[in-house]
Amino acid sequence: MKTFDIDRDAAETLALDAFVEQVLHLEGKACLTNSFQIEDMVVLHQLRQIAPNIPVLFLDTGYHFKETYAYRDRMVQEWGLNLVSLQAKQSVADQESAFGILNQTDPSRCCSLRKVAPLMQGLEPYDIWFTGLRREQSPTRKNLRKLEPHVLPTGKSLLKVSPLADWDFKQVWSYISRHQIEYLPLYDQGYSSIGCEPCTSIPEDSNNPRSGRWSGRKLECGIHTFTETNASPLTTLQDGQ
């Protein structure tokens, strides 16, 4: 059984590089979930300075833009990434044959089958879960902390880490530009939040980058709202039995 004593309030004040280094020195197996959007690439760029072989978990829903797949493959090759592809139990064809086009009729169920379920299973081997989440992205993320203890449906506990929680969009782009990191070409077409192609459009409201997701019908796919959070400022995390 593994335990972590983490002072979440102190962590909020650390600079990005110092914060990432401190978390990576904790005892436990770490991973990063990466949709290959710019926030995830900033976090990955930092992680690779210390842990170049860190597992990069990609949710392959079968519905991504062709540009996303091409960019993913290019960065895997150029950066030598340890990519872990997570997939739903059913193929896209089998799911559509059984339930129809769920991303049109019931997008929440589609996300549950193709994102939430594979991720919850994929996170089981890990103790530390890095993300590219930011508070500014959505009202559902406004209370996000850089360090959050989460419990998976099986009872397994892990530390969810969001190094960019307090960053704004300009800071992310500044980092991308400063470090000359190649980014997903869809941003140049006007997309600001990029997920599955059928559920992603160019946002009409430039002040709401996620307004182009799910045609405004919802704000989250569920992978960041499904796990239980322990909100104690100083928390001891334990692996589930």
- Tell me the pLDDT of the chain averaged across its residues: 84
Whether residue 38 contacts residue 176, with contact meaning beta carbons closer than 8 Å, is answered with yes
pLDDT of residue 27: 86
Encode pLDDT of 86-109 as tens digits: 999 999 999 999 989 987 888 888
Q: Which residues on neighbouring strands pair with residue 213, listed in sequence order?
A: 200
pLDDT of residue 182: 97
Residue 227: pLDDT band by 50, 70, 90 thresholds?
very low
- DSSP secondary structure string, 166-189? T--HHHHHHHHHHTT----GGGGG
d(CA 162, CA 85): 21
234 sits in which H/E element: strand 234-238
pLDDT of residue 238: 37
Encode pLDDT of 120-140 as tens digits: 999 999 999 999 999 887 676
Name which residue leads in pLDDT, 86 or 205. 86
pLDDT of residue 199: 84
d(CA 156, CA 151): 6
Name which residue leads in pLDDT, 188 or 207. 188
> Which residues are marked as active site?
221
pLDDT of residue 85: 97
Share of the chain above pLDDT 90, in %: 57
Encode pLDDT of 9-60 as tens digits: 888 999 999 999 999 999 899 999 999 999 999 999 999 999 999 999 999 9
d(CA 21, CA 16): 9
CATH of domain 24-226: 3.40.50.620
pLDDT of residue 218: 46
